């Protein structure tokens, strides 16, 4: 499926009266505000009058903030086709660039929700309120996989906040309002409708992330990133994140329910995902027909990782997962998201179709390997125990007999990449999950143990060559060990 070409929005309330600190599921306290049941009943989302938009703008604008970011610029002099440098930079002198974005206050204590790409790489963040006061801010937690970030300011007083709503209850055609700072024009208010939901084919900036975007024609532009998308009740239902670079009137927002699922972890400074251990693919019309399925809904398991939670629970290639932990799985991306946000170590029920029959299986997701390696106190030995190759930024396992046969490799040859560390050497080199590594330089890679032995001889900072097989093709990539 071709991804929609997008440009990430360049970094350039109705006040919540519900309780803060109450629990959403009995486990984690809320860090945001919501409207009470009485307030919701008094302001139905379908009620739109001439004064509705003006009232929303007046009540919610104080909770929307302008974010100014300073980043280190790591560029170096590059030569154009005529030999002239595009720009000059003294490598010994730190250089900086500026960025603009939007955010919104989610509680009276000064917690602000925005996009990860707004604050990514920031060395300084300043928040400006609607009354022109400015405060320094710090990043509490940030997650590139969902493009969400939580930042905090200490204003010395209680601040107005925007209540979070329920993005699942949004209807296509429903009116919404966006407030943000497009092109640095503070507190610009635009209105439109929800033009679609569940846009999972959208890949902002080509970034691999969990996506289930709300599509809207409320005008959003560069600088709106991180701003709220608001329903007619005055609740935030989305976080504006991207626009379609090829057309006008098409913008995309992250559903607020996705943010609510991660806010307790962002507040702790780190998102820890759980790990199921399956590779999935969509149920196409032809696959549904061949398998005798009544619909194309569900996630088809293409492969199960050896010794993973899925393998231990008895999940098999060919199973079609239809529900996970009581929640519907309409496609492969739904399973990826639900498995990632389920609690590691907690048993969940998986409903699936196997040979056309409905089956239920209990599975206990584990902590994601990427999270295990990132834990404080991790050592090269503990990294290797979790499947991570020290200094390389990827996890790997030995190939199965069938995988070697499919790849045409002799016994013990090669390893399979199972995870990539965001921002690590493998990520920078372009490696992907599912790649088969055949050689490390001239020596052949004979399983994980063989790779570890070769890796021990490589000093940090040295660049090595890896022979990589991806599908039916193979080629060399260079990777600098950290």
Measured distance CA(426)–CA(420) in Å, rounded: 7
| Cα dihedral value 167, 168, 171, 173, nearest 10 | 40
Q: Which helix (H) or strand (E) holds 456?
A: helix 447-456
Residue 442 in 3-state DSSP?
coil
Per the annotation, the verdict on 147 as an active-site residue is: yes
Whether 270 contacts 375, CB under 8 Å: no
Q: How far is CA 398 from CA 116, 297, 305, 309, 446, in A?
A: 34, 32, 10, 17, 9
Measured distance CA(312)–CA(151) in Å, rounded: 39
Whether 424 contacts 374, CB under 8 Å: no
Whether 319 contacts 353, CB under 8 Å: yes
Q: Which of these is catalytic: 61, 66, 111, 117? A: 117
> Alpha helix (H) ranges present in 37-152?
37-42, 52-60, 116-119
3-state secondary structure 221-289: CCCCCCCEEEECCCCEEEEEEEEECCCCCCEEEEEHHHHHHHHHHHHCCCCCCEECCEEEEECCHHHHH
Q: Which of these is catalytic: 66, 111, 142, 147? A: 147
CB-based contacts of 429, cutoff 8 Å, min separation 6: 466, 477, 478, 479
Per the annotation, the verdict on 225 as an active-site residue is: yes
Pairing label, strands 111-114, 148-152: antiparallel
Q: Which two tokens stand for residue 194?
A: 């929800």
**Nearest Cα residue to 205 out of 259, 243, 254:** 243
Q: Which two tokens stand for residue 339?
A: 């498995």
* Length reported for the chain: 482
Q: Which of these is catalytic: 219, 225, 336, 342? A: 225
Measured distance CA(220)–CA(236) in Å, rounded: 15
The set of catalytic residues is: 117, 147, 225
């Amino acid at each position: 499926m071709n991804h929609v070409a997008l440009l990430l929005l360049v970094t350039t309330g109705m006040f919540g009266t519900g309780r803060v600190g109450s629990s959403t599921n009995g486990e984690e306290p809320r860090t945001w505000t919501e409207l009470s049941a009485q307030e919701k009943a008094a302001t139905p989302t379908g009620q739109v009058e001439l004064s509705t938009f003006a009232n929303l703008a007046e009540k919610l604008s104080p909770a929307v903030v302008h974010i100014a970011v300073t980043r280190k610029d790591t560029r170096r002099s590059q030569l154009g086709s005529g030999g002239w440098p595009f720009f000059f930079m003294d490598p010994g002198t730190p250089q900086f660039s500026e960025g603009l974005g939007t955010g919104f206050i989610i509680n009276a204590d000064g917690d602000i929700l925005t996009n990860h790409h707004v604050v990514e790489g920031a060395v300084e963040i300043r928040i400006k309120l609607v009354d022109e006061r400015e405060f320094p801010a710090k990043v509490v937690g940030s997650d590139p996989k969902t493009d969400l970030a939580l930042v905090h300011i200490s204003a010395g007083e209680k601040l107005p906040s925007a209540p979070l709503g329920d993005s699942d209850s949004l209807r296509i055609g429903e009116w919404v309002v966006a407030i943000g700072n497009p092109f640095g024009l503070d507190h610009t208010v635009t209105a439109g409708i929800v033009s679609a939901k569940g846009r999972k084919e959208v890949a902002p900036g080509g970034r691999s992330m969990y996506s289930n975007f709300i599509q809207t024609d409320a005008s959003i532009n560069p600088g709106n990133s991180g701003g709220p998308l608001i329903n007619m009740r005055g609740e935030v239902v989305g976080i504006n994140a991207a626009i379609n670079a090829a057309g006008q009137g098409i913008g995309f927002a992250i559903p607020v329910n996705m943010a609510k699922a991660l806010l307790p972890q962002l507040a702790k400074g780190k998102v820890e995902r759980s790990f199921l251990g399956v590779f999935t693919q969509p149920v196409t019309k032809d696959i549904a027909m061949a398998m005798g399925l009544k619909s194309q809904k569900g996630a088809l398991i293409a492969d199960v990782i050896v010794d993973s939670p899925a393998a231990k629970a008895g999940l098999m290639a060919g199973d079609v997962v239809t529900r996970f932990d009581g929640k519907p799985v309409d496609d492969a991306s739904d399973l990826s998201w639900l498995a990632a946000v389920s609690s590691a170590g907690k048993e969940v029920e998986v409903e699936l179709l196997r040979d056309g029959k409905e089956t239920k299986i209990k599975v206990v997701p584990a902590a994601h390997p990427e999270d295990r390696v990132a834990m404080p106190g991790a050592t090269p030995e503990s990294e290797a125990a979790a499947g991570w190759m020290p200094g390389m930024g990827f996890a790997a396992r030995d190939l199965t007999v069938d995988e070697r046969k499919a790849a045409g490799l002799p016994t013990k040859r090669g390893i399979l990449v199972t995870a990539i560390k965001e921002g690590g050497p493998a990520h920078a080199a372009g490696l992907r999950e599912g790649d088969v590594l055949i050689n490390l330089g001239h020596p052949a890679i004979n399983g994980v143990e063989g790779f570890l032995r070769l890796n021990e001889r490589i000093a940090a900072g040295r660049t090595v060559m890896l022979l990589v097989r991806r599908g039916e093709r193979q080629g060399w990539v260079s990777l600098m060990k950290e």
